[in-house]
Structure 1
Amino acid sequence: MATADQCTDANDVWLPIPPGEIEGLPEGLHYVHWDAGPDYPADPARCVFYAVPYMKGAEVSLRPLSRMSRVRVVQTLTAGIEHMLPGLDRLPSGAQLCNARGLHDASTAELALTLILAALRDIPGFVRSQDAGEWRTGFRPALADKSVLIVGYGSIGSAIEDRLTPFECARVVRVARTARDTVRGPVHPLSDLSALLPAADVVVLAAPLTEETRGLVGSDFLARMKDGALLVNIARGGIVDTEALLAELESGRLRAALDVTEPEPLPAGHPLWHAPGVLITPHVGGPSSAFLPRAKRLLRDQLTLFAAREPLRNVIATAD
């Protein structure tokens, strides 16, 4: 809830997008643009709403927090907020940390489908053949009639299933932290993973990185996947034990399509770059043409609620 000093003593809003480019921002607040440059655009102590620069790294994003003594809202432009959680104890009591649930659903789900199809149909192999001027035909796996397991069934996981629907999968199985029913069918709890993995042809990771999911995909998880199965990670690299995955890839038993890795960025010379059966994209699930207009709408809508002293959406944590 906003406090009385928002529009008098302190009412700065820090935006990573120039405020002149966002239509419909509410009046009564002072907007400044900061996208992780070395100099601050204003006194951090006057900031009441901090929209975190997008994909600039935790160190930069957290830097002004210790000086934001009156901030009431920290709004990320990512669904994951693990990079901002270390700064929660720097915030004044009652300050809210909000994520960007829904902002990246379409773009990330598109990439998930792209990675699945490209890996199954061996698009990287065809590109290499084209570069070499080779006509290399033959059969490749199709997505049709495959069983897909989605680990993490929030808004992105649901959007992935939306895009899988026309592809005639034999089965789509949903897993999340807690069990529930949906119009499409049941969502299984994480405790069911061990029993569900052996039947999946494609396993898609769409879960947030938490203490519960960090390292979830380790040697035991991978060993339960069927021979030839494809692991797709569009979530966070820390969910997967990289060494355990490398062992499975190098044996040729599993394949992987990864938009995120651990470490990240993946350094030159890392064995994952050249492991057999792996397709890697550099964390581009969110950065697409869909990002900017949706980010502007999110910021406008949240600031409209903030200025009206209405409850904000997507509140993930509140400082003590």
Structure 2
Amino acid sequence: MTSDIWLPIPADEIDGLPSEAATGPRYRFWDGGPDFPADPADCVLYVVPYMKPAAVACRPLPEMRSVRVVQTLSAGIDHVQPGLGTLHSGVRLCNARGVHEASTAELTIALVLASLRDIPGFVRGQEREEWRAGFYPALADKSVLIVGYGSIGAAIEDRLAPFECARVTRVARSARTTARGPVHALPELPALLPDADVVVVSTPLTEDTRGLVDEGFLARMKDGALLVNVARGPVVDTAALLRETQSRRLTAALDVTDPEPLPPGHPLWHAPGVLISPHVGGSTSAFMPRAKRLIADQITRFVAGRTPRNVVHTTP
């Protein structure tokens, strides 16, 4: 019986993988190129190439008739969801929880601080030899609302702790209580938005969150508030955000955009008070070592017949 495991990283570069043996896995390297490394029908565990579009990530899925686990290397699973309907029943979909939290939270804090303290303005001033002295907003004493309180949202709050924020409010799909305090349910969001100085969006992209940050959401934000999106671009209505930023009522820091990549000439590039980073929340030096550890652990569990970690969906 074949037991191919498709990896987007060469197997000899991953420490701790179970050895290839007569009864063990056979590793196949595929990073999303045009040619498959073997017959997809023989694949039992598929590690999805990182940062590839849905058309690439999903391309082998209809032929993977033996697959039992699909493992993404991203926190989000939206790029593989279009292909899940082609899989047989009982396939476990796992995300990369534990890989991206630290890096994404780091960038979130960097975007917040850079936006509030106008670091882009200082850079432009340096280029023009301008001394831009004055008073600028601080993160200290600000109220922060985190919309999407999963592992990344919690990591963001961890890093907010030293900054002496006045208040951190948490929102998730459903209400619960954590060691840090209550998490509000998504229906409570409209009542919470007007009190927030900084709104951080870190939700997964689902049908419930697509367009969540729409005209009504933005209208409820207080004048001068900062929106930070480290989730997915389509969570935010770009046209609505442009109207608010072009009027200078709100500012924004975006690691993700819709469309993405943001094309040359798009008005978001030059909207006042908008800071854009090119979807690099998880793309840091921390990614590869953590991704390799996750892959090795998941495959070790799979070969031993144990339940994988981070199961976020099982196909019906």
In the superposition, the TM-score normalised over structure 1's length comes to 0.96
Pair 1:14 & 2:6 matched: yes
Whole-angstrom CA distance in 2 between matches of 1:86 and 1:58: 7
Pair 1:123 & 2:119 matched: yes
Q: Tell me, yes or no, if the aligned pair for 1:65 and 1:90 is still in contact at 8 Å.
A: yes
* Displacement of 1:196: 0.7
Map of 2:280 onto structure 1: 284
Map of 1:4 onto structure 2: none
Map of 1:3 onto structure 2: none
Whole-angstrom CA distance in 1 between matches of 2:181 and 2:49: 37
Query: In the TM superposition, what are the counterparts of 1:28-67 in structure 2 within 5 Å?
Result: 28-67=24-63
One of 223, 226, 229 as aligned partner of 1:227: 223
Whole-angstrom CA distance in 2 between matches of 1:252 and 1:123: 18
* Displacement of 1:147: 0.3
* Displacement of 1:192: 1.0
One of 200, 204, 214 as aligned partner of 2:200: 204
Whole-angstrom CA distance in 1 between matches of 2:213 and 2:296: 37
Map of 1:86 onto structure 2: 82
Whole-angstrom CA distance in 2 between matches of 1:177 and 1:66: 31
One of 300, 303, 306 as aligned partner of 2:302: 306
* Displacement of 1:134: 1.2
One of 259, 263, 268 as aligned partner of 1:263: 259
* Displacement of 1:93: 2.1
Map of 1:26 onto structure 2: 18
* Displacement of 1:117: 0.2
Map of 1:143 onto structure 2: 139
Q: Which amino acid aligns with 2:3?
A: N
Whole-angstrom CA distance in 1 between matches of 2:220 and 2:35: 50
Once the two structures are aligned, what percentage of the paired residues are identical? Answer: 70
Q: Which amino acid aligns with 2:109?
A: L
Q: Which range is displaced more, 103-112 or 308-317? A: 308-317
Whole-angstrom CA distance in 1 between matches of 2:116 and 2:309: 38
Q: CA RMSD, aligned part only?
A: 0.8
One of 101, 104, 107 as aligned partner of 2:103: 107
Whole-angstrom CA distance in 1 between matches of 2:94 and 2:298: 10
Unaligned runs of 5+ in 2: none
Whole-angstrom CA distance in 1 between matches of 2:240 and 2:184: 25
Q: Which amino acid aligns with 1:17?
A: I
Q: Deviations over 1:211-232 (max 9, x none)?
A: 1111111111101101000000
Map of 1:77 onto structure 2: 73
Whole-angstrom CA distance in 1 between matches of 2:155 and 2:313: 24
Whole-angstrom CA distance in 1 between matches of 2:87 and 2:215: 38
* Displacement of 1:92: 2.1
* Displacement of 1:106: 0.2
Kindly tell me the number of residue pairs found equivalent between the two proteins.
Answer: 312
* Displacement of 1:39: 1.2
Report the secondary structure of 2:193's partner residue: helix
Unaligned runs of 5+ in 1: 1-8
Q: Which amino acid aligns with 1:23?
A: D
Map of 1:238 onto structure 2: 234
Query: In the TM superposition, what are the counterparts of 1:158-237 in structure 2 within 5 Å?
Result: 158-237=154-233
Whole-angstrom CA distance in 2 between matches of 1:18 and 1:31: 8
One of 291, 294, 304 as aligned partner of 1:295: 291
Q: Tell me, yes or no, if the aligned pair for 1:10 and 1:70 is still in contact at 8 Å.
A: no
Whole-angstrom CA distance in 2 between matches of 1:75 and 1:66: 16
Report the secondary structure of 1:45's partner residue: helix
